[in-house]
Amino acid sequence: MSFRQSNIVHPVNKTKKQEAEDEDSTIDDIIISKFLNVKDRINIEVADSQAFSNSLIQQRQQVVNNTSYRRTIESWKPNSLQQLVQMIKSLSRGKPIIDQHWIIFYWIACNIEYDTVALFTKTFGNQTAEGVFQIKKGVCAGYANIYKYLCDQLQISCELVGGYSKEYAFYKREDAPTETSHAWNAVEIDGHWYLIDTTWGAGPFNDKKVFEHQLNSYYFLPRPNEMIYHHFPDDQKWQLLKRSIEKDEYMQMPKVHPSYFELNLELVHPCNQAHVDFLPDRPYALVLIRAPSDVQLMADLKLNGKEIEGADRVIFDRQKQIYCCYFAPTNIGKYKITVYGKRGHSQDGVHRSALELIMNVKKIPVSHISYPYTWPCFHDLGLKVIAPKHSANAVWNDDTSYAEVLMQAPGDVQLSCDIQYNDVIIENGSLAQFNNEKKLWQLLFAPEHTGQCELIVYGKRTSGTESSSMPVVMFNLNVTELRHPMKFPTTYTPFERTKCQIYTPLDGILKKGSVIPVHCVIPNALDVRLDVDFKRIANEGYADSILQRRITVGSKEIIIYAKYEQESDYTRLAKYTVE
User: pLDDT digits over 514-553, tens only?
Assistant: 999 999 999 999 999 999 999 999 889 999 999 999 999 9
Q: Give a yes or no: residue 507 inside a domain.
A: yes
Distance of CA 415 to the CA centre of its chain: 22
Q: What is the pLDDT of residue 494?
A: 94
Bridge partner residues of 220 (DSSP) = 196
Sign of CA dihedral 42, 221, 291, 349: negative
**3-state SS class at 124:** coil
User: In this structure, what DSSP letter does residue 362 have?
Assistant: S
Is the same domain home to 394 and 475? yes
Residues in Cβ contact with 82 at an 8 Å cutoff, skipping those fewer than 6 apart: none
User: In one letter, which amino acid is 404?
Assistant: E
**Can you give the pTM of this predicted structure?**
0.78
Q: What is the pLDDT of residue 315?
A: 87
Quick: pLDDT tens for 16-53. Answer: 334 344 445 555 777 777 777 776 667 899 999 999 99
Sign of CA dihedral 440, 441, 447, 448: positive
How long a stretch of residues is the chain? 579
Q: Give a yes or no: residue 235 inside a domain.
A: yes
Q: What is the pLDDT of residue 112?
A: 97
Is the same domain home to 268 and 411? no
Q: Give a yes or no: residue 250 inside a domain.
A: no
Q: Give a yes or no: residue 352 inside a domain.
A: yes
Where residue 538 sits, what CATH number does that domain have?
Answer: 2.60.40
Single residue among 459, 488, 517 that ends a domain in this structure: 488
Helices (H) and strands (E) in the chain, counts: 14, 34
Closest by Cα among 503, 542, 505, 549 to 525: 542
Beta strands in 39-175 (DSSP E): 113-114, 137-138, 158-165
Is the same domain home to 383 and 470? yes
Q: What is the pLDDT of residue 31?
A: 76
Residues in Cβ contact with 167 at an 8 Å cutoff, skipping those fewer than 6 apart: 181, 182, 205
Give the ranges where 357-435 is alpha helix by DSSP (H).
376-380
Is the same domain home to 139 and 189? yes
Asked whether 543 and 565 are in contact (CB, 8 A), the reply is: no
Is the same domain home to 78 and 184? yes
Q: How deeply is 75 buried, as exposed, middle or buried, from its count of CB atoms within 10 A (0-12, 13-18, 19+)?
A: exposed
Where residue 96 sits, what CATH number does that domain have?
Answer: 3.10.620
Is the same domain home to 101 and 5? no
Q: What is the pLDDT of residue 1?
A: 29
Residues in Cβ contact with 80 at an 8 Å cutoff, skipping those fewer than 6 apart: 133
Torsions phi, psi for 564 (to 5 deg): -115, 160
Is the same domain home to 186 and 71? yes
Is the same domain home to 316 and 441? no
Q: What is the pLDDT of residue 174?
A: 55
Is the same domain home to 126 and 198? yes
Closest by Cα among 238, 240, 196, 193 to 219: 196
Q: How deeply is 293 buried, as exposed, middle or buried, from its count of CB atoms within 10 A (0-12, 13-18, 19+)?
A: exposed
Q: Give a yes or no: residue 313 inside a domain.
A: yes
Domain count, the chain: 4
Torsions phi, psi for 404 (to 5 deg): -130, 140
Q: How deeply is 411 buried, as exposed, middle or buried, from its count of CB atoms within 10 A (0-12, 13-18, 19+)?
A: exposed
Whole-angstrom CA distances from 165 to 71, 172, 176, 197, 394 are 32, 13, 11, 11, 44
Q: Give a yes or no: residue 240 inside a domain.
A: yes
Is the same domain home to 396 and 359? no
Single residue among 215, 244, 273 that ends a domain in this structure: 244
Is the same domain home to 235 and 105? yes
Where residue 293 sits, what CATH number does that domain have?
Answer: 2.60.40.10
Single residue among 371, 392, 414 that ends a domain in this structure: 371
Q: Give a yes or no: residue 92 inside a domain.
A: yes
User: In one letter, which amino acid is 447?
Assistant: P
d(CA 321, CA 484): 47
d(CA 354, CA 339): 6
Sheet strand arrangement including 333-343: 255-256, 352-361, 333-343, 295-303, 306-307
Sheet strand arrangement including 515-521: 501-504, 515-521, 546-552, 542-543
Is the same domain home to 106 and 229? yes
Asked whether 511 and 579 are in contact (CB, 8 A), the reply is: yes
Q: How deeply is 463 buried, as exposed, middle or buried, from its count of CB atoms within 10 A (0-12, 13-18, 19+)?
A: exposed
What are 38-46's contacts with CB under 8 Å, separation 24+? 38/268, 38/269, 38/271, 41/271, 41/272, 42/271, 42/272, 44/225, 44/228, 44/241, 44/243, 44/245, 45/225, 45/241, 45/242, 45/243, 46/223, 46/224, 46/225, 46/240, 46/241, 46/242
**Residue 11 CB: number of other CB atoms within 10 A?**
11
| Residue-level pLDDT, tens digit, the chain, 579 residues | 222 233 323 333 333 334 344 445 555 777 777 777 776 667 899 999 999 999 999 999 999 999 999 999 999 999 999 999 999 999 999 999 999 999 999 999 999 999 988 888 888 889 999 999 999 999 999 999 999 999 999 999 999 999 999 876 554 555 556 678 899 999 999 999 999 999 999 998 876 778 899 999 999 999 999 999 999 999 999 999 999 999 999 999 999 999 999 999 999 999 889 999 999 888 999 999 999 989 999 999 999 989 998 999 998 887 788 999 999 998 999 999 999 999 987 767 788 999 999 999 999 877 788 999 998 788 888 899 999 988 999 999 988 999 999 999 999 999 999 999 999 999 999 999 999 999 999 999 999 999 999 999 999 998 866 678 999 999 999 999 999 999 999 999 999 999 999 999 999 999 999 999 999 999 999 999 999 999 999 889 999 999 999 999 999 999 999 999 988 999 999 999 999
Q: Give a yes or no: residue 559 inside a domain.
A: yes
d(CA 188, CA 154): 13
Quick: pLDDT tens for 150-174. Answer: 999 999 999 999 999 987 655 455 5
- Domain extent, residue 305, equals 38-43+263-371
d(CA 200, CA 268): 27
d(CA 30, CA 39): 16
d(CA 312, CA 372): 8
Give per-residue burial for 215-239: e unless 16+ CB within 10 Å, then b. Answer: bebbbbbbbbbbbbbbbbbeeeebb
Q: What is the pLDDT of residue 177?
A: 63
Whole-angstrom CA distances from 200 to 159, 251, 335, 413 are 17, 19, 25, 46
d(CA 286, CA 269): 8
